Amino acid sequence: MKILLTAERTLMSNYHGALFLGFMSCAPKNLINSKLFFRFICPPVKVKDGQALLAPYGTRKIEAALLDYGFSEKDVAVVPPEKVGKYLKEAKIVGITTNDPLGLGPASTTFANKSGFIKDESFNAYCFRDLLEKIRGKAKIVVGGAGAWQLAEEKVREELGVDVVVIGEGEKTVPQLFDRILKGEDLRGVFYGEVVENIPVIRKASVGGIVEIARGCGRGCRFCQPTLQKLRSRPLEDILKEVRINAEVNGFVNLHAEDVLRYKAEGLKVNEKAVIELFSEVSKISKVGISHFSLASVSSAEKVVEEISTILGIPNKAQPWIAGQTGIETGSAKLIEAHMPGKVLPFKAEEWCDIVEQSFGICADNHWVPCATLIIGLPGEEESDVLKTVELMDRLKRYKSLIVPLFFVPLSNLRNQKPFSAEDLKSYHWELLAKCWEHDKKWIIDLSKEYLAKMPLISRALLMNFITWAISEGDKRIRGMIEERCTV
């Protein structure tokens, strides 16, 4: 095999079909025993004929792009990181998919590493470094994926032994780069991927049963790269091909987009007919989950949310609810207007808190569970902005959901701003953190029991024991920190 495609260990796991557990890879490594974590929570993907039966969706896209470009299946192997050594003698290129190679993403910087609450390396950063140590100097190393921006500095690449970094969409750019490398060019440095209109169809199943239905967003949030990209919806025919591939191996699919309700949208207006057709056709083949949705879309298309739940038969014994990631970010109309005016459309910034509560109510009525984020430390944030978010939290406490506060990370149009860290927290930030903790503590046990029900018994018991311990221990620590900081 001339080309090996792989990913850091935390990405090469199906998490027993409970994909949201993947966020535990952002946790500090000293929080959970590594042997228990990698055996019972993050088990390795299975292998057949030396190759991974499941791989990250981005890896599968690059695999498909290489084959479409003209590379033979004999040239390309997708392997888990623990199997890479078997092929290194023949390999000329190792392509690595990474989401958070240095632990600099919002979740990792909030909970781990130098800026987080617990000053220890996150699992994902540890696993990326561990992988590079195994392959450094044995083949040309090319890294891409959502976290590739973290490797843009030459000094960082040299220290890690990374030759080439691809930032952005890779399906057009990577095959050309690999072709040049195999023809003898000594390529090094950072390359930026071109926007892809004809997105290739994956050949084999993906971790989490991920199937991309649309790429980009167009809402224009200044801190988020995907929202600045033009929305491109994929043909239903291509989506169904990938659904069948994943249904055969996983038994389920997770439809992925920055906002699944804007599939084939006309601008920011929900295309009801297209969305309903999408979920109807996919549900004929497989059990269905979703990745992300927008609260503004939920409020503007309540009937579509109702219809999706009806189509999927939610609630039922196997699937009591459907969960997806969404962004609240702030309760401040001032910060909305400054950094994310498109997020609230077709509504106004001053209506945002009402829209958030209304959307949470619609989700509750239709058995959708929002897994929402808040951003702490946005540029220009003042005490009054944080307190408005605190007030919004009070309005949301009766809705079944998780709300996770994340530190601001300077990305996209705000990349020159100062990052936020645990050392920057003020008493009013701690008040918001306390609200989030009380909210999540109220809901997390019930949600965990329902979400983990399909996991193997030992893994489920281990996780539930860990969650119970984490709530108890977290309660002591957080209350202690809040009392200490709020009296300063």
**Could you tell me if 310 and 217 lie in one domain?**
yes
What's the pTM? 0.94
Residue-wise pLDDT tens digits, 361-384: 999 999 999 999 999 999 999 999
CATH code, domain with 265: 3.80.30.20
Return the SS3 of 330.
Answer: coil
On the question of pLDDT at 322 being above 70, the answer is: yes
Residue 122 has pLDDT above 80, yes or no: yes
> 303 and 160 in one domain?
no
Residue 201 resides in a domain: no
pLDDT of residue 352: 98
- What's the Cα-to-Cα distance from 213 to each of 193, 197, 243, 463, rounded to whole Å? 20, 13, 10, 31
On whether both 138 and 221 belong to a single domain, the answer is no
Task: Identify whether 156 is part of a domain.
Answer: yes
Residue 116: pLDDT over 70:
yes
Residue 430 domain-assigned? no
Three-state secondary-structure class, residue 217: coil
Same domain, 164 and 219: no
258 and 165 in a common domain: no
Token reading at 141: 């190393």
Residue 245 resides in a domain: yes
Structure tokens at 92: 């000329």
Is residue 41 within 8 Å of 24, Cβ to Cβ? yes
Mean pLDDT of 270-287: 98
DSSP label of 266: B
In CATH, what number is assigned to the domain containing residue 27? 3.40.50
Q: Which stretches within 290-426 are classed as H helix?
A: 295-300, 302-312, 333-339, 352-365, 383-396
Instruction: Tell me which of 373, 392, 424 is where a domain ends.
Output: 424
- Closest C-alpha to 336, from 215, 218, 219, 429: 219
* Alpha-carbon radius of gyration of the chain: 22
Closest by CA position to 112, among listed 24, 225, 223, 33: 24
- Same domain? 168 vs 140: yes
Residue 144 has pLDDT above 50, yes or no: yes
Predicted confidence band of residue 346 (pLDDT cuts 50, 70, 90)? very high
Distance (Å, whole) CA 327 – CA 359: 12
Average pLDDT over residues 174-180: 98
Q: Distance between CA atoms of 292 and 254, rounded to whole angstroms?
A: 10
Let me know whether 56 and 168 are in one domain: yes
Could you tell me the two tokens for 190? Answer: 């950072």
pLDDT at residue 488 greater than cutoff 50: no
Residue ending a domain, among 393, 424, 455, is: 424
**Angle (CA) 65 71 75, round 5°:** 115
Which pLDDT value is given to residue 47? 95
Looking at the structure, tell me whether residues 174 and 224 fall in a common domain.
Answer: no
Do strands 3-7 and 93-97 pair parallel, antiparallel, or not at all (unpaired)?
parallel
DSSP classification of residue 148:
G
Chain-centre distance of CA 176, in angstroms?
Answer: 27
- Are residues 136 and 280 located together in one domain of the fold? no
Averaged pLDDT score across all residues of the chain? 93
Verify that 129 and 212 share a domain, yes or no.
Answer: no
How many angstroms separate the CA atoms of 422 and 478, rounded?
Answer: 13
Mean local confidence (pLDDT), 159-172: 96
Decide if 202 is inside a domain.
no
Number of domains in the chain: 2
Q: Give the mean pLDDT of 46-50.
A: 92
CB 144 within 8 A of CB 58: yes
Domain assignment of residue 349, yes or no: yes
Residues making up the chain, counted from first to last: 488
Quick one: what percent of the chain has pLDDT higher than 70? 97
95-104 mean pLDDT: 96
Question: Which residues touch 294 (CB under 8 Å, ≥6 apart)?
Answer: 219, 258, 259, 261, 262, 326, 327, 343
Among residues 192, 218, 246, which one ends one of the domains?
A: 192
And the tokens for 442? 């109220």
Residue 465 pLDDT grade (very low, low, confident, very high; cuts 50, 70, 90): confident
> Once rounded to an integer, what is the mean pLDDT over residues 300-304?
97
Domain assignment present for residue 403? The answer is: yes
Tokens standing for residue 179: 């072709």
Band of residue 482 on the pLDDT scale cut at 50, 70, 90: low
Question: Do residues 249 and 329 both lie within one domain?
Answer: yes
Q: Do 249 and 135 belong together in one domain?
A: no
Among 297-301, 305-309, 475-479, which stretch is predicted with the lowest mean pLDDT? 475-479
Instruction: Give the pLDDT mean for 349-371.
Output: 98
- Can you say whether residue 16 is alpha, beta or left, with left for phi > 0 and alpha for psi between -120 and 50 degrees? left
Dump pLDDT digits (tens) for 185-241.
Answer: 999 999 999 999 999 999 999 999 999 999 998 888 888 876 567 899 999 999 999
pLDDT at 58 over 90: yes
3-state SS, residue 118: coil
Does the residue 197 lie in any domain? no
- Domain encompassing residue 24: 3-192
Token pair 């130098």 in the structure block, residue:
114
